[in-house]
Structure 1
Amino acid sequence: MSHHWALSRVLPILLCFGSSLTWANDIAEIEELIRNKQWPQAQQKLQLAIKQTAPTATTPLSPQFRFMNSQILAGQGQVAKAVQELQALIQEFPELPEPYNNLGVLLAAQGQYDVALSALTSAIQARPHYKIALQNLGDLYTALAQQAYAQAKNAKEGPNLLPLPAPSAVTTNTTNTQTLR
């Protein structure tokens, strides 16, 4: 076998491996920028990574890139766009818990507790031991409890106990009189 033949077979594999490493490095860098809340830099790096992967109709944009985009949008205060991106991800990838979790957090921050509860519950259904979603669900239940407590505290004064139900009339078989039970 010639070196040319071996090189022609091995080089494409090495190039694919190298591009995978570059892609993984890009993701790690973007995630680090997101963790550090460096939104403009994260957006710029994400756009560059998207251009390098060149999404097409047959190979659409990676759900991971879309998820990171939603995080960046939310961090930049574009919550409505972030919510739309997460909802689209959920439609396309209902098995992924992360979009449900982040959607739940964004909706809870807007006071939409019922919808947030549904999203967080879906995240936990997708991955039952998803620690972050479980913690967020606990935080949501705490917020709901505080809301209920505030409503109770501000309610008009009235009886602290529910009124007892009215006694029911019973007809006995021996007489035609009604007695109270």
Structure 2
Amino acid sequence: MTGLTNTALAQTRTPALVPNADLNSSIQAGPGPAFTPTETAKLDPAGNGQALFKDDAPPEGGWKGLARLLEAVTPAIDTSIPLTASQITDRISQMLDQGRNQEALEVIEKRSAQLAGQNTLGNDVQLLFLHGRALSALGHHADAIAIYQDMTTLYPELPEPWNNLAAEYVKQGRLELARDALDMALAANPAYATAQANLGEVQLMLARQSFQEAAQMGARGAEARALKAGSVLAQ
């Protein structure tokens, strides 16, 4: 029998690409201040009075005993010192790592409202990126794509939004767009290993798709090649 059956096609699973978790590598190595989340955009003391986070920031790892000792001998500690932009995004990233996606999205929205109420120049790039990540984790893929597309327009030199945009495109089966986005990620940073590996995955997906179509047209050996490509993707 030539060509893949409808059942075989229906069972073909599109693997997920590896998204990037943050922009720290690009921000730290970026060419200029445009890549640095603003450090002056702190919690607005004259705002709504709403804390971004429901719990206090945890002490630095490994020093709980020392932290308790310092609390005992210090008569007063100023807890009103606002978090910096990088501290805020670090905590949001931790929440996403822990699967607290809805809570993280709520914090992101509060933080975005705070920044909108301040006359702060520029964008908190890391916050934008985490917004896309939170939306994706909650299944709001169209909204996540919109965020990443905006980022690639505003900051085309950052490879991570291109990579995560590709991951979203793959979820929708838009493989050519995913390939193009990964090409842009690698143009921004040729040493970006995650994007290079993801590009290999997408190229295999495209190859499998071509072999599947060829098999349906009756091309000899195409079905076997499609299955081989699928087995590699499944590893």
TM-score w.r.t. the length of structure 2 is 0.54
CA distance in structure 2 between the partners assigned to 1:57 and 1:99 by the alignment? 26
Cα offset, 1:118, TM superposition: 0.7
Q: Which amino acid aligns with 1:115?
A: L
Q: Distance in 2 between matches of 1:129 and 1:144?
A: 23
Q: 1:22 to 1:62 in 2, by over 3 A?
A: closer
- Partners of 2:89 and 2:184 lie apart in 1 by 26
Q: % of aligned pairs identical? A: 28
Q: Secondary structure at the match of 1:59?
A: coil
Greater helix content? 1
Once residues 193 and 95 of structure 2 are traced to their aligned partners in structure 1, the CA distance between those partners, rounded to angstroms, is 23
Q: Does 1:156 align with 2:204?
A: no
Q: 1:55 to 1:121 in 2, by over 3 A?
A: farther
1:43 to 2:43 alignment: no
**Higher RCO, Cα 8 Å, sep 6+:** 2
Task: Report the counterpart of residue 173 of structure 1 in structure 2.
Answer: none
1:61 aligns with 2:132: no
**Kindly tell me: are residues 62 and 55 of structure 1, through their superposed partners in 2, closer, same or farther at Cα, counting changes over 3 Å?**
farther
* Cα distance in 1 between the residues matched to 2:152 and 2:159: 9
Structure 1: distance between partners of 2:184 and 2:118: 30
Match 2:202 to one of 137, 140, 163: 140
1: CA distance, partners of 2:115 / 2:200? 38
Higher-Rg member (1/2): 1
How far apart in 2 are the matches of 1:57 and 1:139? 43
Give the match for residue 151 of structure 2: 89
Provide closer, same or farther for how the CA distance between residues 157 and 98 of structure 1 changes in structure 2, counting only shifts above 3 A: closer
Unaligned runs of 5+ in 2: 1-41, 43-80, 223-235
Deviation string, structure 1 residues 129-150 (Cα, Å, up to 9, x no partner)? 1111111111111111221222
Runs of 4+ off more than 4 Å:
51-58
Q: Would the alpha carbon gap of residues 25 and 58 (structure 1) be closer, same or farther in structure 2, given more than 3 Å must change?
A: closer
Q: 71, 85, 91: which is aligned to 1:23?
A: 85
Task: Tell me what 1:130 maps to.
Answer: 192
Please report the RMSD computed on the Cα atoms of aligned residues, expressed in angstroms. 2.8
Q: What amino acid does structure 1 have at the position aligned with 2:210?
A: A
Residue of structure 1 in register with 2:160 after alignment: 98
Mapped to 2, the partners of 1:30 and 1:115 lie a distance apart of 29
SS in 1 for 2:139: coil
**Which AA in structure 1 matches 2:152?**
I
Under a length normalisation based on structure 1, what TM-score does the superposition of the two structures give?
Answer: 0.69
Is the CA contact 1:104–1:116 (under 8 Å) kept in the aligned structure 2?
A: yes
1:80 aligns with 2:142: yes
Q: Which moved more, 1:25-34 or 1:63-72?
A: 25-34
Query: After superposition, what is the alpha-carbon deviation per residue over 1:1-27, rounded to whole angstroms, capped at 9, x for unaligned?
Result: xxxxxxxxxxxxxx9xx64x5433321
**Residue identity in the other structure for 2:94:** E
- Structure 1: runs of 5+ lacking an equivalent: 1-14, 161-181
